[in-house]
Amino acid sequence: MRKRAVGLPAGLVLALCAGAAAFAGTAREAGAQEAHQPVATSGSDIVPVMSWAHKRELLIAKGKSEAEADAWISEQLASFAEMDRSAGDDRLGVAAPPFRFDAWLNSEPLSLEALEGRVVLVRWWTDTCPFCASSAPALRALHEEYAEDGLTLIGVFHPKAGREDPLDVARVQRAVEAREFRFPIAIDWNWRTGNLKDWWLTGPDRPATSVTFILDKSGVIRFVHPGMEYHDDGSGPHATCASDMGRIRAAIERLLAE
């Protein structure tokens, strides 16, 4: 479950979680685009990205040479180790805004009031993001390990490709099934004016939109991971990813014990 996809060239493997811009602007600008966003004409054309190796295959299938695909991926990976982990500190101690999501999968609609007494982890993700794909095993692991101890994990889908399209629940369902998510999934389709704006895109510039919040049992934000990637594999160049995963686990366990 925590195994990562293999198949990238050696140079790219050494680049993973090491570091150049995953964002081509600021996440809070309405026109900003994360560097992992592909061009798509409709929701039915969008293939959920499953790993960095899969992303490389998709780039080549769309006409990039192997060298161009490798360079593109290296460029996207280069900023992660340098990401400011304090980018969400301004949100610590703030009561989480109420949920106002467009739809729910794997669950009846949830509210913060109904979740009082449980620790809540909320992670925004999308189907075209290799950082999100690489973090999917971590979300499955956290749900399986801590749900019975009092953690509710909510994955929040926000579209990048096709974000001007009407709400497409079937597209989200395809991505949920592909990534084997069994925990509650909320859809923040109009995220630029929706819940992501309420929770994250106000205040200072943000390094990414794939942010993770952990709330205490009273609904107060107590931990923020500013985005991109985390997982348990800490071998070689994945030390930063594993370190972030350790910080997330520590926060969950601390809040569960309170």
213 DSSP β-pair partners: 122, 224
- CA nearest 219: which of 66, 141, 116, 126? 116
Instruction: For 27-79, write each residue's pLDDT tens digit.
Output: 433 333 343 343 333 567 899 999 999 999 999 999 999 999 999 888 887 77
Instruction: For 189-201, write each residue's pLDDT tens digit.
Output: 999 999 999 999 9
Where exactly are the structural domains of the chain?
8-258
* Ranges of the chain whose pLDDT falls below 70: 1-43, 235-238
In this structure, which topology does domain 8-258 adopt according to CATH?
A: Glutaredoxin (3.40.30)
**Whole-number Å distance between alpha carbons of 216 and 213:** 10
- Tell me, yes or no, if the pTM score tops 0.85: no
